[in-house]
Every structure is written in structure tokens, then in C-alpha cells.
Structure 1
Amino acid sequence: MGVPPKKQRLIVIIATVVGVLAGGAGLVAAINSIGGYSPQQRASAAMIAPDTALPLVFRGWGSPKLFDPVMDRAKDQRALTEKEVFGQSEFAVSKKLKLKLVAKKLDADCSAALWGANLLELVSDAECTQVARGLYASSDGRYIGQYTLLNLKDGKSAADLVESLKTLYRGGWTRPLESPKATFPAGGYSEAGGYALGHYVGLVWLGKTDGADPGPKDDFVSLTLALRGAEKAVYRRVVTIAGPSS
């Protein structure tokens, strides 16, 4: 997005204070003075509650050709199961560090796992029939992550959703699962990525349990790759449809 996390936080604070004191006109002027946000993003920022946990950074990627066999749900009609997506209880980040599953949930009503009017409208148009969420805590207690998998009607809907989230994610996001073992700190730093996987969308959300910005020793790339282990469920479906050679 071109806006550092600290400036993004400043935008949220200004949006909240100015919204109370001066109304919508003051909000637009305040955010314009910082720069870097589109009108859609300014509108979304005004809806953020001070205690909302959501990523400060989001990046999105389109579907690789590998997932062409599952581009249409009509060819992949079998519903996802909780065991299929979250049957593996932990993922290795390194020899010493693991992400351990502490909560999981599969909803047939996608609105139960998401918030934000624009996002809910997008997933409704995409005929979302399932959303699976898994919450993970690192073995050293320093990191928290959530993987969310959305079951949409086709690859175009998945790609459009990921593209839309590049600008709208601060006005709508996935709801974090609750667990005494891991919680996303409200107002703390976290980052996310969206991946179109045929007619599925995978959302990776990672942060530090203390809410601090990542430092040189925080390897969020390896954490992301480990958390994406939940996507093995989609890979297995590709093999089922296209055969082992795929």
C-alpha cells in the first residue's frame, strides 16, 4: 500500500478522534493531510472501532495455474470438512518453532466468520457456502496466527475477492476465533495475505502476542509458509480431480 504501519496506526487514531469532534468533513481533511489512502479506504477507516483487531498490512495473490482443476465448484462439489482442513494439529516453522492449533471452526454461514458490509456483500455475491477458521499459537508463545479458507462458486469470484481486499480489508475482515491460549492484541501490529486457490480463498493472518512491530529476528515469511500448511486440503482436491501427475 505504500503506507508504513506506524502511519496506518496514526490514520486510525485520527479517524476516531476527528470523527467524534468534527464529523465526516474533518475526517477527510485529516487523512488527506497524511496521504496514501483512496476514498474507499478513508470511508473504511472511519468504521474501525478502537478495540478492533485487524491487520495493518495486507497483500494479495492470484490463483496459480496449478489450481485450474478446482476453478469451478461444480467440478468440486464435495463440502469441506473440519478434519480435512485442520486434521494436522501443528506445523513446523523451524527445528525449534512450531505453530500449534488451539481452536478451529467450520461455518456454513460465511457471515458468521466475517465482518464489514462490503466484505459480506462480496462473499454473498460469490455464493460462499463454507468458511473454515483455524487459530494457532507458536510453541514459544510469541506469535499468533489464523488461517481462514473460503469456499466460493468459481475462480473469478475468488480472484475478485482477493483483489478487492487489497483496498477494503480495513473495513472488513475475518473474525478471530477465541482461545485462552492465543489472542490477537487489539491495536497491535499484525499482517495478512490473501491467496486465490481456484474457487477457494485462503487468508493468512499473523501477529505477535505482545502486539509489537516485527523486528529483525521475527521471520514472518517462514511463519506464513508454515500456516499455509492448511492449504494441503485444496492440493489434495486438485490431485483427486486431475490425477497424481498434476
Structure 2
Amino acid sequence: MGLRPEKQKLLVIIATVVGALAGLAGLVAAINSIGDYSPAQEASAAVLGPDVTVPETFHGWGSPKLFDPISDRGKDQRALTEKEVFGESELPVAKKLKLKLVAKKIDSNCSAALWGGSLLEQVADAECTQVARGLYASSDGRYVGQYTLLNLKDGQSAADLVESLKTLYRGGWVNPLTSSKAAFPPGGHSEAGGYALGHYVGLVWLGKVDGTEPTPKDDFVSLTLALRGAEKAVYRRVVTITGPAS
């Protein structure tokens, strides 16, 4: 190449460094591909049929200390009722927007409301006795949402379930209730969140009726807060144990 010996040596060093960096980049990419494991990989086509709808995203939160008085079902043995959890037929979102309850159901057989081998096994271990589901349609006809409340044996089981769902939710989820007034579109975009509430787990599931992803004009935060209005039942149970002063 017509280079002097010292420049040839420098070129070899540069080439060696570049090669090493390229190899390192490849290694990092490989590691990242492992770290970016998607729950969709576990949910194979055999598990997720064309009519199965699951959230695209899921976020989970642990139980606040407020719910410590009901961290053990032994202190909160009364069964949930439809009137208690879904007594309000409308949940306000904004001044001109409401979520209307279009279907509700409480199953004592938790496997009737859920699907997915790992999820069913975990709720069985958690001694799940009830799954309360309420399906909602927005008053403007644009949104569909479902709130689910699971009655487990203790706070640790609730926390473990929420943590597990962070990675396994696309391989096991809640069955949506059916109604002619609202439905999650198969294959459409939807989002979900899980909340440990003492020995309960609350699941919020939201989507647009047309199945498209939300835009800045779609206030999913307010919709989520509205759906969580069903959790008033859990707050009332805390007050029953601790008294109004809490």
C-alpha cells in the first residue's frame, strides 16, 4: 500500500481495535436480544389463537401500606358481591365522558375467568376464591374497558401475581366479558395495569373500540383512574377493620 513501517503498524492496531469493537457490539446486541425477551415469544400461535385478545403492554404496582390491614384474607373473610364492587352503573372520566357498566360477573371458580397454564397454576396456589369482572363502554363510543378484582389468600400472593404478570401476561390473562354494547377488538391495541391491594389484585384493561393505538388526545390515564373506581369496595373493607380515622 506504499505505507511506511510505522504507519503500517498503526493501521494494524486500528484494524484490530475496530474488529474488537465490532465483536463487542455483536456481543452486546446478542445480550440485549436476550434481555429484551418479549412475553409474546412465550405466547406461541398455539396459545394465542386469532380470536384471543391480550394487552400490548402491562405495568404492575405493589400494594401500598394503606392495605396492610387486609393483607391476610383471614381478617377479611366476607365474600365480594356484585353490588359491592359494581354498584355504580357509571364511572365519571371527565365532564362530558363516562364509562357505562354493560356487563358484570363474579366467578367463584377462578379458572372460569382466566386462561393460561402458568396463570391458572399461580392463582390456584394463591387459593383464589373469586374473580369479579366488570365490562365498560365509554359514553362517546370510543373506548372499552374491563376491571377485574381477584380475591387471593394473602398480600404476598397478590404481590407475586402482579410481579409475574409483568413478563407472563401475554401467555395468560383475563377472559373478557361479552356484551353487544362493548368488546375488545381481536388483534387490536389495548393496555393493562395490575395493582396489589392487600390480598386482592386489581387489573385494569383498556382499549379503543377501533383497535388503534392511543394518541395524545386519548387520555388513558383518566380512563384508568375512572375504572379503578371499582376499588372503592376494597377501601371500604380497610375502613371496616381500622375505623374511619384511618
**TM-score relative to the length of structure 1:** 0.84
Would the aligned equivalents of 2:57 and 2:190 in 1 still touch at CA under 8 Å? yes
Partners of 2:86 and 2:158 in 1: how far apart?
21
Q: What is the match of residue 42 of structure 2?
A: 43
* 1:158-169 correspondence runs (5 A): 158-169=158-169
Would the aligned equivalents of 2:39 and 2:170 in 1 still touch at CA under 8 Å? no
Structure 1's unaligned 5+ residue stretches are 1-31
Partners of 2:90 and 2:44 in 1: how far apart?
35
Partners of 1:215 and 1:159 in 2: how far apart?
31
Would the aligned equivalents of 1:119 and 1:172 in 2 still touch at CA under 8 Å? yes
Report the alpha carbon displacement of residue 48 of structure 1 after superposing the two structures with TM: 1.6
Q: What is the match of residue 134 of structure 2?
A: 134
Q: What is the match of residue 202 of structure 1?
A: 202
Would the aligned equivalents of 1:45 and 1:170 in 2 still touch at CA under 8 Å? no
Partners of 1:41 and 1:73 in 2: how far apart?
33
Partners of 1:150 and 1:67 in 2: how far apart?
15
Q: Secondary structure at the match of 2:74?
A: helix
Partners of 1:55 and 1:242 in 2: how far apart?
36
Structure 2's unaligned 5+ residue stretches are 1-30
RMSD between superposed Cα atoms in Å: 1.6
Partners of 1:152 and 1:86 in 2: how far apart?
19
- Write out per-residue CA displacement over residues 101-139 of structure 1, whole angstroms, 9 at most, x where no aligned residue: 000000000000000000000000000000000000000
Q: What is the match of residue 7 of structure 2?
A: none
Q: What is the match of residue 120 of structure 1?
A: 120
* 1:81 and 2:81 aligned: yes
**TM-score relative to the length of structure 2:** 0.84
Partners of 2:242 and 2:32 in 1: how far apart?
53
Q: What is the match of residue 12 of structure 2?
A: none
Q: Computing the radius of gyration over CA atoms, which structure comes out larger, 1 or 2?
A: 2
What residue identity is the alignment partner of 1:235?
A: Y
- Write out per-residue CA displacement over residues 190-230 of structure 1, whole angstroms, 9 at most, x where no aligned residue: 00000000000000000000000101100000000000000
Count matched residues. 215
What residue identity is the alignment partner of 1:158?
A: A
- Write out per-residue CA displacement over residues 60-94 of structure 1, whole angstroms, 9 at most, x where no aligned residue: 00000000010000000001011000001111000
